[in-house]
Amino acid sequence: MQEQRTDRSEPPRLRLDGITVRFGGLTALDSVSLDIPAGRILGVMGPNGAGKTTLFNVICGVFPPTEGSLELDGRSFTPKPHRLTRSGVARTLQGLGLFPGLTVLQNVTAGLAAGSRRGLDLLALPGSVRRETLLAERAMEALDTLGVAGYAAALPDTLPYGIRKKVALARALVSEPRLLLLDEPAGGLSHEDIGELADIIRTVPGDGCSVVLVEHHVDLVMEVCDRIAVLDFGRLIAEGTPAEISADPAVADAYLGVEAA
Ligand SMILES: Nc1ncnc2c1ncn2[C@@H]1O[C@H](COP(=O)(O)OP(=O)(O)OP(=O)(O)O)[C@@H](O)[C@H]1O
Ligand SMILES: [Mg+2]
């Protein structure tokens, strides 16, 4: 009999254990415990204000959780924004978050300069000119992978929204993260661009990279995700396969505004 390819000893890429975030009297996340498996795509859905971006902010160390803890690849993880890429974590922001005064190439190079695993080996090289050239080469590779290398010298504000979204994605991918957090990557994209985005999410992140996709675009989430978590008022109300989530009456009630039977 063929052996099943399940390694029970492998820890999740990220484990969230009882994460609570309070802003004054508002509980943005309420004791959320969730495993993000290695090498899989997890969708996070939920209505506006459910706590999705707050979850990313905790994972990125923008602020510490009020309660709870995180583990990355089985080790206790206290995220620090300035060490994030070095930890193997990269994110895109809700919206764009590109630097308007920098060219497309400079924007993507910034994703390496912060001390990523991929940029670190270059920092050890003698001679800053050589280092700059290699950083730019790697940024060009990332732009090329997303089919936007031709815009390298442009300022982001001069480009169509769909191209700018790809530049933001290239900036996150250039560090070759093992955990990639995408906050509404389909927001503002055309139907055709969303189809392309689905292919990118499935194929471009490196082998073993885990992806967390926060997205309101239900079809995209259902199509590309291995599993889906649903937040409502900061609480994790469901977690399962796309089929399980689409059949869950609590999700229909919370997310789609349909009365649960
Ligand atoms: N820095 C902050 N200070 C105070 N309240 C905040 C802060 N960040 C988020 N909140 C509040 O926490 C709740 C969750 O917000 P969050 O941005 O995580 O929601 P979301 O699920 O990402 O929503 P959306 O789909 O609209 O992006 C909201 O009520 C929001 O107003
Ligand atoms: Mg959000």
Domain ranges for the chain, please list them: 1-88+177-261, 97-176
195-212 pLDDT, tens digit each? 989 999 998 777 789 999
**pLDDT reported for residue 151:** 97
A 10 A CB-CB count for 191 gives 8
Q: Which residues of the chain are modeled with pLDDT < 50?
A: 1-6, 259-261
**pLDDT reported for residue 114:** 53
**pLDDT reported for residue 18:** 97
**pLDDT reported for residue 10:** 83
Rounded CA gap, 142 and 229, in Å?
29
Pairing of strands 210-214, 75-76: unpaired
Does the CB atom of residue 94 touch ligand 1 within 6 A? yes
For ligand 1, atom 7, name the residue with the nearest CA.
23
Q: Ligand 2 centroid vs 13 CA: distance in angstroms?
A: 22
**pLDDT reported for residue 252:** 83
**CA separation (Å) from 255 to 25, 229, 231, 240?**
24, 12, 9, 15
37-74 pLDDT, tens digit each? 999 999 999 999 999 999 999 999 999 999 999 999 99
* CA of 21, closest atom in ligand 1: 12
* CA of 54, closest atom in ligand 1: 18
**pLDDT reported for residue 259:** 47
φ/ψ of 29, rounded to 5, equals: -135, 135
CATH fold for domain 1-88+177-261 = Rossmann fold (3.40.50)
